[in-house]
Amino acid sequence: MEQADVIRIQRFEEMDLKELTKPRGSHHDVSSAVTEIIRNVRTRGDEALREYTARFDGVELQDFSVSEEEWEQGLRLVEPRFLDVLETAAARIRRYHMQQRRQNYIITEENGSAMGKVFRPIEKVGMYVPNGTAAYPSTVLMDLIPARIAGCGNIVMVTPPTKEGTVNPSILAAAKVAGIQHIYKIGGAQAIAALAYGTESIPAVYKIIGPGNAYVAEAKRQVHGVVSTDTVAGPSEVLIIAEGENDPRILAADLLAQAEHDPDASAMLVTGSQELAEAVAEKLAKQLSVLPRKEIAGASLKNNGRIILTDGSKETALQIANLVAPEHLELCVDDPMSWLPGVRAAGSIFLGRYSPEPLGDYMAGPNHTLPTGGSARFSSPLSVDDFITASQFTFFTKEALADIAPSITLFAEQEDLIGHARSIMSRFPEQE
């Protein structure tokens, strides 16, 4: 395979910048189909779930819950070494997210007033775990451990059943490590509808998290407002900035690590070196030819991959990174810490040549559920904050309120809200 057939090499000054921000992913409109599925689940409950499970997953189920026997059988299929890896990863994820815990606070004043904020976990959370072209036990850990740290006590998981009517053993193992006890074998938009509205056997929740296909994403959009949902994730993406001395073999491997996710995934390299660009393209062609998921990775690189040649300046490279606002940003540069202040939008930033993106997928500790499609400009990685709510409180004595009553009254009158002013002054009839 020729390198030109694998990935485009383009000069930044010759590019249409819209190419860097164009939406990716399926443009097939599934909204009508999803609306019908949600309506059916709301009105017919478990009966509709059984029909959709038979139609879409090819399995007849009467009971959706995973029994103790299924748990035991599934866990016996997981090699002990992988269980140890899951435990190690969970410990690292837990240590990182423990720093995100919120503390209640109160501010008091000499006149007796007090105000503050109290934080509490979301009472009921549902997590969707896909089981399509690949299973992702890492996402189980990344999504559920922050919820546990937040204090969520009632967490349920839904995941599509296998053709045998079971759950992927690695998913069961990750759920056990994360401390989940209730798993239901349902998938697709019907699972989201069940979590949002509840059925005879599936409890309704207050928040739904977890990635899924276009139908799952659309279902989350449609039930948002009935329940809270996390960010609707788009295709995964990485942008690598490579300046100074870099091994083209390693850079090619990093690009392929992202491209093998999905044909719509995006893998881009930014460099000021024509020689490095061509060397990376050559290594990509060689490595792609022996990659097990080469069809997927090849489509990703052809459709969305590119190597962008710049003038070699730090400013131009950061301009591109901030324009793209990638899910993952690798800074394969000398002194990467000095680049960090210039990054204004990225989901997760990997600093240096020994911090590749797959490190963050599995073992580093920071969350791998990240904003995609440029939404890093206004969204953040999944965190403990996503599983808590807060109430603020205010306490004033009569004396404290009297101190600022005239100011409140004047404010209200300026907005022509006389009822507001009377609400205050009615407490002080002697001043009316």
| Residue of 197, 172, 152 whose CA lies nearest to 48 | 197
Whole-number pLDDT of residue 256: 97
Q: Which of 97, 261, 328, 368 is catalytic?
A: 328
Is residue 432 over pLDDT 80? no
In angstroms and rounded to an integer, the radius of gyration of the C-alpha atoms of the chain is: 26
Q: Which residues partner with 126 through β-bridges?
A: 156, 208
How far is it, in rounded angstroms, from Cα 8 to Cα 267?
11
Q: In the CATH scheme, what is the homologous superfamily, with its name and number, of domain 31-229?
A: Nitrogenase molybdenum iron protein domain (3.40.50.1980)
Of residues 327, 330, 357, 368, which has the active-site annotation?
A: 327
pLDDT in tens, 328-374: 999 999 999 999 999 999 999 999 999 999 999 999 999 999 999 99
- Give the span between the Cα atoms of 138 and 168, in whole angstroms: 13
Q: What mean pLDDT do residues 181-197 have? A: 96
Q: Does residue 24 have a pLDDT over 80?
A: no
CATH no., domain 3-25+234-364? 3.40.50.1980
Kindly report, as residue ranges, where domains of CATH 3.40.50.1980 are found in the chain: 3-25+234-364, 31-229
pLDDT on residue 367: 96
* pLDDT tens, position by position, 49-97: 999 999 999 999 999 999 999 999 999 999 999 999 999 999 999 999 9
Dist. CA 298–CA 302, nearest whole Å: 6
pLDDT at 3: 55
243: three-class secondary structure by DSSP: coil
Whether residue 133 has pLDDT greater than 60? no
State the DSSP code for 179: T
Mean pLDDT of 248-274: 96
Six-digit token string for 200: 């005879």
Find out whether 306 and 268 touch, Cβ atoms under 8 Å. yes
pLDDT score for 23: 72
What value does the mean pLDDT of the chain take? 93
Q: Give me the pLDDT at residue 26, please.
A: 60
Q: Are 198 and 288 in contact (CB under 8 A)?
A: no
Residue in this structure with the two tokens 């591109």, named with its chain if needed? 320
The reply to whether 328 belongs to the active site is yes
Q: What is the pLDDT of residue 4?
A: 58
Residue 235 tokens read as 């295709």
Q: Cα dist. 409→27, 396, 412, 424 in Å?
A: 54, 16, 5, 7
pLDDT of residue 430: 79
Q: Is the pLDDT of residue 1 over 90?
A: no
Please give the average per-residue pLDDT across 31-35, as a whole number: 95
Please name the helix (run of DSSP H) or strand (run of DSSP E) that holds residue 177, with its range, or none. helix 169-178
The answer to whether 114 and 104 have CB atoms below 8 angstroms apart is: no
| pLDDT reading at 419 higher than 60 | yes
**Is pLDDT at 412 greater than 80 in this prediction?**
yes
Assigned token pair, 165: 């009517």
With 90 as the cut, is the pLDDT of residue 425 above it?
yes
* CA separation for the pair 11, 366 (Å, rounded): 34
266-271 sheet: strands from edge to edge: 8-11, 306-309, 266-271, 237-242, 328-332, 348-351
